[in-house]
Chains A and B, each alone.
Chain A
Amino acid sequence: MIFVYIIAGIAGGLIGGMGMGGGTLLIPLLTIFCGVEQHIAQAVNLIAFVPMSIVAIIIHAKNHLIKGAYFPWIAIPATVVGIAASFLARNLDGKILGKCFGFFLIALGIYQLICAIVAMVKNKKEKGER
């Protein structure tokens, strides 16, 4: 079972490292393939990406890719609501939370699909013009 967790982590990290939502993939991998309870899977995801994020942030900061001006305006309201939402999730049954998460995944997946297709068409056009 240890290896299944490591493999799930690698798959999530791989997508995360490529700049796509790795966590949104890691949670269903843990619940669907490893049978992990929804709340636990969510907690694992929140913690597991922290070390990788810190390293990535340091690299991005060195490359001057981080704009601090956005930080207080977005992160402060987000953190306050994030804590409140975590308490809200606590009171929900894991199965119901899992279903809600499923709908969230479908919406994100469709959005991601549209973005990927638009980017692909744009790339092809640019290549054609060259």
Chain B
Amino acid sequence: MEKLFTMKKGVKNAIMIAGGLTVGFANGFFGGGGGMLCVPLLDKALGEKTKISHATAMLIILPISIASAVTYVVNGYFDLRITLFTGIGVIVGGIIGALLLKKLDSGVVGIIFALLMVAAGIKQAFF
């Protein structure tokens, strides 16, 4: 919080724009992952509180995702069936996840999730 006010305005603006360019590239090129970059941009680089960083990142990602989604669809990358059923799953999972967040030890879940990501990444990159 204090960091936000002590940081020079020009420096802060430059960090926000450079961060925005990185977040936008990742989200458009990979179709996701922008949020995972936007949160550390807000809390680590700009010194924002963690909760506010998570919430604000969602708002920032929304227009990027919509614009990128439109581009993908216009370019012919769209499958209604998969999108519909996966979308239903995401809503159900999202509600469960939000409820579980209060009960589960998010540290353990975070580690499992990170290991899953690395494993999936190795599979995608090398096999």
Q: Do A and B bind each other?
A: yes
**Distance, CA A50 to CA B68, complexed state (A):** 12
Q: Is B11 an interface residue (CB 8 A)?
A: no
When distances are taken between beta carbons in the complex, the residues of chain A under 8 Å from B87 are 9, 44, 47-48, 51
Q: Which of B26, B55, B75 counts the most A-chain CB atoms under 10 A from its CB?
A: B55
Interface of B is mostly: helix
Q: Is B83 an interface residue (CB 8 A)?
A: yes
* Contact assessment for A82 and B123 in the assembled complex, using a CB-CB cutoff below 8 Å: no
Q: Which of B21, B26, B51, B56 counts the most A-chain CB atoms under 10 A from its CB?
A: B56
* Contact assessment for A106 and B122 in the assembled complex, using a CB-CB cutoff below 8 Å: yes
Chain A nearest CB: distance from B89 CB in Å? 2
* Contact assessment for A112 and B69 in the assembled complex, using a CB-CB cutoff below 8 Å: no
Within B64-87, which residues are at the interface with A (CB < 8 Å)?
64-69, 71-73, 75, 77-79, 81-83, 85-87
Q: What 0/1 pattern do residues 3 to 47 of B give for CB contact below 8 A with A?
A: 000000000010011011101111111111111101011100010
Contact of B21 among A7, A12, A57, A81 (CB under 8 A): A81
* Contact assessment for B107 and A48 in the assembled complex, using a CB-CB cutoff below 8 Å: no
* Contact assessment for B29 and A113 in the assembled complex, using a CB-CB cutoff below 8 Å: no
Given contacts A28-B121, A65-B54, A111-B40, 7 further A-B contacts (CB under 8 A): A12-B86, A13-B97, A17-B99, A21-B35, A60-B58, A85-B24, A123-B107
Which A residues are within 8 Å of any B CB, using their own CB? 2, 5-32, 34, 36-37, 39-57, 60-61, 63, 65-68, 70-71, 73-90, 98-113, 115-117, 119-120, 123
Which B residues are within 8 Å of any A CB, using their own CB? 13, 16-17, 19-21, 23-36, 38, 40-42, 46, 48, 51-52, 54-56, 58-69, 71-73, 75, 77-79, 81-83, 85-101, 104, 106-107, 109-111, 113-118, 120-126
